[in-house]
């Protein structure tokens, strides 16, 4: 009988091999070209994995006896997570760079043994995003189908296998529930201080919840499910023009965004930073499938900034902001700006007949960037320009109805974090997006 061949020794010139492997992942899939197939990840005794496919004409023959083998899951509490390492390698033959991610972390199990782990690829980014956005004192996770590397002294470290391994944080997973139920674990939890996360809030936003540009940042943070620390800048008193704030933004405008050593102003630059940094988390706001989709996304972001925003911002200023400061609305400017906005909305109406959203068929940064001014214009006579165009109206209704945007508009939930009361009546302000009162605590008229 022929000996078994190790997976690492398989060569393409021969079509028949005898290997001893374990099926660690098994599923069926269908494609127009290949029909229904059985897909498998196999692993041999040396820990080398390989992908295998049972073609459609053999599925019935093998389906009855192929089964996924059992595997051990490791459950533990995260006690250390390092920095996300990004390595770029340029491949001249292919004409582009390959980006490789890695992240070292440590878990402690119920036996209080600390295990060193290394995550690579997409899992490294997923863990990094979750770690930096989660504020719990202790995070328990489950590693499924990870490879154990052994050294002379025993277990060296645990690492993932790309496309096979999983890291799970769901509190409903039985292993996590059992881990958290142990009495000794609960006693030790307060002493497991997560090194980089004692502060709990990584991002700082200097701004005001009723500023259009500040709301743009709130919208993306809430779409991504990220925590942040809001720091109110008193616009009415001119705090944004004083030396202390000018040291953050020399142009004296809100918002300013801080991520440790990274300091950014200009809201659209900030949203792109967050969208790229957390592309694997929450709502996918980019369109990176190809150079064409990325270029289309960028084009429509430029259209929003240079075609839509100048007219929309002027209309918001004249009809919403000026009355708050006791200034008179210039109706000639309103009329002129509405003429310009109508031309832009006519282009939008045509585009939305071709695509559900402006850049593509999914909600992206392009749509998010429109939200602050659109919301204010819905409270002004300019609303008719949006309602008179059926596709624009449907688009506006859909994007302003998103839960993250509703939260961004609710200053109590997204900014102050507690109920404010009217000093005169003792009643809570009703201030979501409808602008019932100004943020300076007086009635708009």
Would you give the distance in Å from CA 78 to the centre of its chain? 21
pLDDT for residue 325: 84
Q: Is the pLDDT of residue 10 over 70?
A: yes
Question: How does pLDDT run across 196-253, given as a tens digit for each residue?
Answer: 333 344 689 999 998 999 999 999 999 888 888 899 999 888 999 999 999 999 999 9
Question: How does pLDDT run across 118-164, given as a tens digit for each residue?
Answer: 998 888 888 888 887 776 667 888 888 787 776 655 556 788 877 77
Fold of 274-445: Glutathione S-transferase Yfyf (Class Pi); Chain A, domain 2 (1.20.1050)
Architecture of domain 73-197: Beta Barrel (2.40)
Spatial strand order of the sheet with 35-43 comes to: 22-31, 35-43, 49-54
Question: How does pLDDT run across 264-303, given as a tens digit for each residue?
Answer: 999 999 999 999 888 767 788 987 767 888 899 999 999 9
- Note the pTM of the prediction, 2 decimals: 0.55
pLDDT for residue 445: 35
- Long-range own/partner contacts, residues 228-234 (CB < 8 A, 24 or more apart): 228/201, 228/202, 228/203, 228/204, 229/201, 229/203, 229/204, 229/205, 230/205, 230/414, 230/415, 230/416, 231/204, 231/205, 231/206, 231/207, 232/207, 232/208, 232/415, 233/206, 233/207, 233/208, 234/208
Q: Is the pLDDT of residue 437 over 50?
A: no
Task: Decide whether 73-197 matches 274-445 in CATH topology.
Answer: no
pLDDT for residue 69: 53
Cα–Cα distance measured from residue 348 to residue 367, given in angstroms and rounded to the nearest whole number: 11
Cα–Cα distance measured from residue 175 to residue 154, given in angstroms and rounded to the nearest whole number: 24
405 touches 219 (CB < 8 A)? yes
Three-state SS letters, 391-428: HHHHHHHHHHCCHHHHHHHCHHHHHHCCCCECCCCCCE
Domain parsing of the chain, residue ranges: 7-62, 73-197, 274-445
Q: Is 382 exposed, middle or buried (0-12, 13-18, 19+ CB in 10 A)?
A: buried
Write down the residue that tokens 């997560």 correspond to. 194
Name every residue whose Cβ is closer than 8 Å to that of residue 407 and which is 6 or more positions away in sequence. Answer: 218, 222, 413, 414
| End-to-end Cα distance, the chain | 92
Question: How does pLDDT run across 375-430, given as a tens digit for each residue?
Answer: 999 999 999 999 999 999 999 999 999 989 999 999 888 887 622 333 333 433 33
> Is residue 84 very low, low, confident or very high in pLDDT (cuts 50, 70, 90)?
confident
Cα 384–Cα 390–Cα 393 angle in degrees, nearest 5: 60
How many residues comprise the chain?
Answer: 445
């Amino acid at each position: 009988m022929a000996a078994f061949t190790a997976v690492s020794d398989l060569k393409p010139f021969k079509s028949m091999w005898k290997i001893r492997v374990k099926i660690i992942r098994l599923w069926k899939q269908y494609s127009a070209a290949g029909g229904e197939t059985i897909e498998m990840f196999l692993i041999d005794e040396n820990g080398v994995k390989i992908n295998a496919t049972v073609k459609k004409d053999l599925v019935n023959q093998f389906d009855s006896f192929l089964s996924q083998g059992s595997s051990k899951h490791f459950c533990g509490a995260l006690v250390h997570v390092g920095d996300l390492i990004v390595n770029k390698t340029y491949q001249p033959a292919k004409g582009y760079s390959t980006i490789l991610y890695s992240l070292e972390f440590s878990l402690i199990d119920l036996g209080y043994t600390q295990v060193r782990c290394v995550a690579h690829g997409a899992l490294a980014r997923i863990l990094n995003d979750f770690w930096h956005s989660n504020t719990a004192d202790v995070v328990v996770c489950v590693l499924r189908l990870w490879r154990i590397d052994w050294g002379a002294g025993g277990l060296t470290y645990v690492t993932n296998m790309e496309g096979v391994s999983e890291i799970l944080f769901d509190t409903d997973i039985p292993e996590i529930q059992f881990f958290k139920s142990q009495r000794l674990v609960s006693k030790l939890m307060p002493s497991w201080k997560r090194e980089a996360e004692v502060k709990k809030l990584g991002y700082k936003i200097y701004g005001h919840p009723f500023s259009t540009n500040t709301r743009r940042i709130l919208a993306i943070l809430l779409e991504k499910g990220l925590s942040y620390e809001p720091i109110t800048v008193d616009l009415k008193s001119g705090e944004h023009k004083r030396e202390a704030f000018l040291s953050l933004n020399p142009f004296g405008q809100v918002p300013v965004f801080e991520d440790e050593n990274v300091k950014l102003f200009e809201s659209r630059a900030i949203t792109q930073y967050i969208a790229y940094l957390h592309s694997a988390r929450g709502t996918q706001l980019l369109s990176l499938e190809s150079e064409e989709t990325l270029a289309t996304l960028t084009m429509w972001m430029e259209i929003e900034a240079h075609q839509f925003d100048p007219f929309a911002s002027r209309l918001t200023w004249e009809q919403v902001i000026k009355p708050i400061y006791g200034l008179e609305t210039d109706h000639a400017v309103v009329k002129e700006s509405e003429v310009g906005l109508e031309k832009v909305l006519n282009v939008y109406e045509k585009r939305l007949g071709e695509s559900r959203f402006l850049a593509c068929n999914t909600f992206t940064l392009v749509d998010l960037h429109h939200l602050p001014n659109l919301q204010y214009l819905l409270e002004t006579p300019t609303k008719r320009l949006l309602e008179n165009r059926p596709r624009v109206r449907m688009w506006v209704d859909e994007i302003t109805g998103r839960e993250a945007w509703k939260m961004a508009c609710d200053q109590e939930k997204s900014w102050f974090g507690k109920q404010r009361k009217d000093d005169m009546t003792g009643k809570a302000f009703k201030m979501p997006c409808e602008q019932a009162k100004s943020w300076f605590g007086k009635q708009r008229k």
